[in-house]
């Protein structure tokens, strides 16, 4: 492997073509500063390993990487900057930042600084976050209205305007940048199910949508239709919004690891009554079955959420209550060929792009190669050049 002397990253001529519609979530879940804590790659990653996962993603040919935050050892700004310093073309996405966790100046400054440092390959992903995680931390749940306001304020700051505002995001009379980035503004995406209000917000103020993981292709198709309808209602071309579907991928993994990152992860989502009910309803799943899982004997007498008590691989008992057909419908598991077929369903449902979730870029190298060679891929590979970030 040859690296350039100045930055330590691979020379562009040595990189494979960028696969335009295939990306990777990194560190999707637990994080620790102790690498010995995790026996398997999918059990968790250190922040340093997350940076290396990003470097590996570029080496393999993924279009971009996403990282969601945890407010301890997984600060998206830091990890994405580390990846940006060691790569040349990989797009870098916060998936997601919650506007109420930062002063409005900060997301705007992050985007401008990332583009100034690493070129125009940053995407600012915003989302509402987890109300349960915010409870007791003094962080208000971001309203849909504030999501739109955050995007608009950020764009005005990037344009060099002075902003006066009073609302959920704060109160200020003359918020402005002293210096602006002299180049294209970063795209801003919204994360969520895109129900009626979310779809309307996407149409009004955003360049892309990051759907939740563990949606079925039918649920993705429903979200796509809501976004298209919202765009048409205001006279916007729906094609201007890029829709990304994160999908748990477990290509050629052993049974325990496959079930841990798919069924075990699904339990972590469904065991929260509010979020779990929304997810199950979107997928047209039986809530009685979900409640049987929540009442599993392993979850009795817990003082906190099961997700904070057990690791995914320790929840395979409760996971066995869920039909395996649920997992195969919302994930891509099995052989590489079977995973390609599963992922194609999300593109056929209207997503513009799929992104791996729950496994590392390295674990998906063979899957990416097979995805690139599938018959439908003839127009989806940008050879040697980075496609439009939006």
Residue 7: its pLDDT value, please?
46
| pLDDT above 90 as % of the chain | 82
E strands present in 130-268: 163-167, 170-175, 188-191, 208-210, 242-251
C-beta neighbour count of 120 within 10 angstroms: 17
| 163-187 per-position pLDDT tens digit | 999 999 999 999 999 999 999 999 9
Assign 10 a pLDDT band (cuts: 50, 70, 90): low
pLDDT higher than threshold 80 for residue 12: no
Residue 69: its pLDDT value, please?
87
Residue 39: its pLDDT value, please?
87
Assign 377 a pLDDT band (cuts: 50, 70, 90): confident
Residue 5: its pLDDT value, please?
36
Cβ-contact 340, 230 below 8 angstroms: no
Assign 11 a pLDDT band (cuts: 50, 70, 90): low
Distance separating alpha carbons of residues 364 and 96, to the nearest angstrom: 22
User: Phi then psi for 330, rounded to 5 degrees?
Assistant: -105, 0
Assign 137 a pLDDT band (cuts: 50, 70, 90): confident
Among 3-7, 206-210, 342-346, which stretch is predicted with the lowest mean pLDDT?
3-7
Domains and CATH numbers, the chain: 22-249+334-373 (3.20.20.30)
Assign 376 a pLDDT band (cuts: 50, 70, 90): confident
Mean pLDDT of 246-259: 97
Mean pLDDT of 283-297: 98
Containing 92, the helix (H) or strand (E) segment is: strand 91-94
CA 6 vs CA 11, 55, 83, 89, 234: distances in Å: 11, 16, 15, 16, 48
| 54-109 per-position pLDDT tens digit | 999 999 999 999 999 887 899 999 999 999 999 999 999 999 999 999 999 999 99
Distance separating alpha carbons of residues 147 and 169, to the nearest angstrom: 9
pLDDT higher than threshold 50 for residue 9: yes
Assign 138 a pLDDT band (cuts: 50, 70, 90): confident
Residue 307: its pLDDT value, please?
85
| 315-344 per-position pLDDT tens digit | 999 999 999 999 999 999 999 999 999 999
Mean pLDDT of 137-142: 84
Distance separating alpha carbons of residues 54 and 320, to the nearest angstrom: 33
| Residue 185 DSSP label | P
């Amino acid at each position: 492997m040859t690296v350039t002397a100045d930055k330590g990253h691979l020379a562009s001529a040595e990189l494979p073509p960028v696969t335009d519609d295939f990306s990777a979530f990194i560190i999707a879940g637990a994080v620790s500063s102790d690498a010995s804590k995790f026996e398997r790659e999918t059990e968790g990653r250190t922040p340093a390993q997350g940076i290396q996962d990003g470097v590996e993603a570029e080496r393999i040919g993924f279009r971009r990487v996403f990282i969601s935050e945890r407010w301890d050892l997984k600060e998206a700004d830091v990890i994405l900057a580390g990846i940006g310093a060691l790569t040349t073309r990989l797009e870098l996405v916060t998936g997601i930042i919650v506007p109420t966790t930062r002063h409005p100046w900060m997301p705007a400054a992050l985007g401008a600084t990332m583009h100034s440092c690493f070129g125009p390959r940053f995407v600012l992903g915003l989302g509402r976050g987890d109300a349960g995680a915010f409870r007791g931390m003094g962080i208000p749940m971001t309203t849909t209205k504030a999501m739109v306001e955050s995007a608009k304020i950020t764009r005005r700051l990037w344009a060099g305007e002075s902003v006066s505002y009073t609302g959920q995001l704060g109160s200020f009379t003359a918020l402005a940048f002293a210096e602006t980035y002299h180049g294209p503004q970063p795209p801003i995406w919204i994360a969520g199910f895109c129900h009626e209000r979310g779809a309307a917000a996407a149409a009004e103020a955003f360049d892309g949508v990051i759907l939740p993981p563990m949606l079925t292709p039918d649920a993705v198709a429903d979200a796509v239709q809501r976004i298209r309808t919202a765009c048409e209602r205001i006279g916007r071309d729906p094609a201007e919004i890029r829709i990304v579907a994160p999908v748990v991928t477990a290509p050629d993994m052993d049974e325990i690891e496959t079930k841990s990152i798919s069924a075990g992860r699904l339990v972590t989502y469904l065991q929260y009554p509010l979020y779990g009910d929304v997810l199950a309803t979107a997928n047209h799943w039986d809530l009685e079955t979900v409640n049987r899982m929540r009442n599993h004997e392993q979850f009795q007498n817990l003082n906190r959420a099961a997700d904070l008590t057990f690791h995914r691989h320790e929840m395979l008992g409760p996971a066995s209550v869920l039909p395996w057909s649920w997992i195969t419908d919302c994930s891509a598991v099995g052989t590489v060929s079977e995973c390609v077929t599963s992922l194609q369903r999300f593109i056929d449902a209207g997503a513009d792009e799929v992104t791996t979730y729950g496994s590392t870029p390295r674990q998906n190298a063979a899957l990416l190669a097979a995805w690139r060679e599938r018959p439908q891929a003839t127009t989806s590979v940008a050879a040697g050049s980075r496609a439009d970030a939006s």
